[in-house]
Amino acid sequence: MALLEIRNLNVHYGAIHALQGINVTVEQGKIVTLLGANGAGKSTTLRAISGLLRQVKGDILYQGRSLFGRPPHDIVRDGIAQVPEGRGIFPDLSVLENLNLGAYIRSDKKGIEEDRERALTLFPRIRERLQQKAGTLSGGEQQMLATARALLARPKLLLLDEPSLGLAPQIVLTIFRIIREINETGTTILLVEQNAHMALQAAHYAYVLECGRITMHDDAKALAESDAVKKAYLGG
């Protein structure tokens, strides 16, 4: 059984039919990526999964159970953590306070501390800045903080919304390396990206989303080789 199964998902924003019946399957332990241009419906898909978006049709099954009609804080408790688009850190709180809020749903102090230690080992840059206001971090550090914070919820499924957005190429490399490391520890990842090159290198399986429809899906390696993807997303 797949960890997450999206069946015939439809989302309307007023008159705009943003998602037109998409099907996505995320297997346990994999990195699955959702590629597409601006406005293709990538973030909408993530928001539908995490429960931030309510007016949706179709079905989303997580571990065989439907997520529909459940509030976001309930879905987090089931093991789905989201790193929102644009990082969504708490700028006036310290880095440490941001991390602790990631573990809001948990009360096992020891486990939280272990996970914080693990997250800080993945992101050593963050460790140096624990007492600093999160708003004073650089863009890359904020993305690292947002990802580390999501890990503190100890998710089974991690939803990443454009982790490369607005970051220098060097930082993007680091972030993607860490995404693979997180996956190797057993966390399943659903990654939404515009940077098709990086995403296809990191992922096991990929879907291409265009104007609210899935137009292609295949193993990431195979898709990276396909002419259509090369032409549209990888620059020839």
| Strand (E) or helix (H) holding 160 | strand 157-161
Smaller CB separation from other proteins, 44 or 82: 82
Residue pointed to by tokens 């990086």 = 198
The CB-of-210 to other proteins minimum distance in angstroms stands at: 26
CB of 84 to other proteins, least distance (A): 5
Kindly tell me which residue out of 50, 147, 183, 188 binds other proteins, with binding defined by CB under 8 A: 50
Q: Applying CB under 8 A, does 144 fall inside the site for other proteins?
A: no
79 makes contact with other proteins (CB under 8 A): no
How many CA atoms lie within 13 Å of 16's alpha carbon, on the beta-carbon side?
A: 8
Is residue 93 a contact partner of residue 134, using CB atoms and an 8 Å limit? yes
Decide: is 91 part of the binding site for other proteins (CB under 8 A): yes
89 sits near other proteins (criterion: CB under 8 A)? yes
Can you count the helices (H) and strands (E) in the chain? Answer: 10, 10
Q: Give backbone dihedrals phi and psi of 235, rounded to 5 degrees, phi first.
A: 70, 50
Residue of 37, 93, 130, 165 that binds other proteins (CB under 8 A): 93
Question: Which residue from 84, 140, 163, 212 is in contact with other proteins, where contact means CB under 8 A?
Answer: 84
Q: What are phi and psi of 102, to 5 degrees?
A: -60, -30
Minimum distance, C-beta of residue 64 to other proteins, in the bound complex (Å)? 22
- Please report whether residue 45 would count as binding other proteins according to CB under 8 A: no
Instruction: List contacts with other proteins (CB under 8 A).
Output: 50, 52, 71-73, 76-77, 81-84, 88-93, 97, 100-102, 104-105, 149-150, 153
